Chains A and B, each alone.
Chain A
């Protein structure tokens, strides 16, 4: 009988990457849900800004350069999603940096946990949060007159887009957390995200801008993703809209996740 027990235990302890990643994801998601003070700003602020804009810029949508839209709300919802996901990404990455600061990260490394699951878990948490934010924004704004021309499929595409952007930025911020190991440095990225968001077509069309600012917004990939999402809202589902809203963030996500993995390996190698 004893001879059976020993190999049986071996099997029990064989790390299953899937199960571990799931556990790590769960931990990341629960951690987010338990800290409402950290996630509420990234939900309230975009909605607040959008509410301000829908009043302040009600007459701006008639300006030359604006696409044909029913309301500033329809125009601005894409930017609000982007804003929420960008600023929400700081939370997860800060948690990762805190893990590194307080030594929990080292304990994970010392355990038989599969290395990638450490970061994949975090990113899965970020994606879940991004998807939740997007769906929440769409539902909350419906009674205020949000009209998604793309319909249910458009809304689904928007959610996929929000999820992928969350992955993309989450990986980028995780890379920063892994490189610096400092939660302060991660939070210090706020002005950078602010610039990334405002030097884009998140709030006004690029066509209405001028000079260097217009050029910068033109170089900013955030502009194209937002414009794709916006088209899903104001024009409906089209191949070109999906390419910008989904394919671009997916491609960027592949790149940033690879970079984040490399940072993870570098940190482990450094000890």
Chain B
């Protein structure tokens, strides 16, 4: 990742021709890898469709089966889809990110990842590139779940700003899911990592107020959900469907996303470095 490499490389070897190669910057390399990730949606729809359909099915199924949950005294909305739509979005976005981990496990197993690692791009691009792809997938998922939700009765309670917070929360979850998935892919280098990334994300997302608000639930889950940062992220994404968008319901989610992203990104970067060991 040294900057002065191009000038020094010409000094190497007596036969060296002048290099036509410039410094590979983070952004173009990331876009190149991100484009590959997105293009494969179209190439391999059987891998993408379930990850698009499952959050939709989940949102519809939860809001239908737990239809009466909104009648519990103190429930913040009277539309069950308003409560469960953001949960479906977070689920779908998380798996959009984790899907990158799965692809990477396959690339490592096939050897294609060696080819990528041998290029002089900044190491960080190996992480940020597929993250761009995951964010693009997440955009599709959020939009699709929202539109289907609208059809079956979801309503924004504070206008477009509430949709914005949903997108922010969803994209944040997609990013941290990608970092987490990549880190485990680098650590395990086989499908064991894939099982662990899915399971852990599932647990993290559901040990929250996923099904009912903190004020309504009783028992052990309350204590867990209260301290789980994913509860904050859900609150961030949900507020536009439960009432007014407020800074009080926003900042906790933003901090949670930033903190988890920082930790998982660091974990991914250090795990990537260990691929050389």
Contact, chains A and B (beta carbon distance below 8 A) = yes
Contact residues of A with B, CB < 8 Å?
Answer: 37, 41, 48, 51-60, 63-65, 188, 191, 194-195, 198-200, 202-204, 208-210, 213, 217
Min CB gap B145→A, angstroms? 15
Residue in A56, A60, A194, A202 whose Cβ sees the most chain B Cβ within 10 Å: A56
Q: Which of B65-73, B115-123, B175-183, B249-257 contacts A (4 or more CB under 8 A)?
A: B65-73
Q: Is B267's CB within 8 Å of the partner chain A?
A: no
Tell me, in angstroms, the Cα distance from A184 to B61 when the chains sit together.
Answer: 24
Min CB gap B187→A, angstroms? 17
Which of A55, A56, A199 has a CB less than 8 Å from the CB of B64?
A199
Interface of B is mostly: helix
Which of B195, B203, B218, B220 has a CB less than 8 Å from the CB of A59?
B218
Min CB gap B171→A, angstroms? 25
Which of B65, B207, B222 has a CB less than 8 Å from the CB of A204?
B65
| Chain B residues within 8 Å of A58, by CB | 217-219
Tell me, in angstroms, the Cα distance from A200 to B66 when the chains sit together.
Answer: 11
Residue in A52, A188, A198, A210 whose Cβ sees the most chain B Cβ within 10 Å: A52
**Residue pair B61, A198 in contact (C-beta under 8 Å):** yes
Q: Is B147's CB within 8 Å of the partner chain A?
A: no
**Residue pair B221, A56 in contact (C-beta under 8 Å):** yes
| Chain A residues within 8 Å of B227, by CB | none
| Chain B residues within 8 Å of A59, by CB | 72-73, 212, 216-218
**Residue pair B69, A202 in contact (C-beta under 8 Å):** no
Residue in B57, B68, B72, B216 whose Cβ sees the most chain A Cβ within 10 Å: B68
Q: Is B139's CB within 8 Å of the partner chain A?
A: no
Min CB gap B267→A, angstroms? 23
| 8 closest A-B pairs by CB | A55-B221, A208-B68, A213-B64, A198-B61, A58-B218, A56-B211, A55-B219, A56-B212
**Residue pair B61, A199 in contact (C-beta under 8 Å):** yes
Tell me, in angstroms, the Cα distance from A240 to B211 when the chains sit together.
Answer: 32
| Chain B residues within 8 Å of A56, by CB | 210-212, 216-217, 221
Q: Is B48's CB within 8 Å of the partner chain A?
A: no
Tell me, in angstroms, the Cα distance from A177 to B53 when the chains sit together.
Answer: 23
Min CB gap A235→B, angstroms? 21
Tell me, in angstroms, the Cα distance from A54 to B206 when the chains sit together.
Answer: 13
**Residue pair B67, A194 in contact (C-beta under 8 Å):** no
Q: Is B50's CB within 8 Å of the partner chain A?
A: yes
**Residue pair B68, A55 in contact (C-beta under 8 Å):** no
Of the A-B pairs whose beta carbons lie under 8 Å apart in the complex, a sample of 13, sorted by A's number, is A52-B206, A55-B217, A56-B211, A56-B216, A57-B66, A63-B72, A191-B53, A198-B61, A200-B65, A203-B66, A208-B68, A209-B64, A209-B65
Q: Is B62's CB within 8 Å of the partner chain A?
A: yes
**Residue pair B217, A199 in contact (C-beta under 8 Å):** no
**Residue pair A202, B57 in contact (C-beta under 8 Å):** no
Q: Is B54's CB within 8 Å of the partner chain A?
A: yes
**Residue pair B64, A57 in contact (C-beta under 8 Å):** no
Which of A37, A53, A200, A208 has a CB less than 8 Å from the CB of B67?
A208
**Residue pair B69, A60 in contact (C-beta under 8 Å):** yes
- Using A58-B217, A204-B65, A204-B68 as known contacts, list a sample of 12 further A-B pairs with CB atoms less than 8 Å apart, ordered by residue number in A: A48-B203, A55-B220, A56-B210, A58-B218, A59-B218, A63-B68, A191-B50, A194-B54, A194-B57, A199-B64, A213-B65, A213-B67
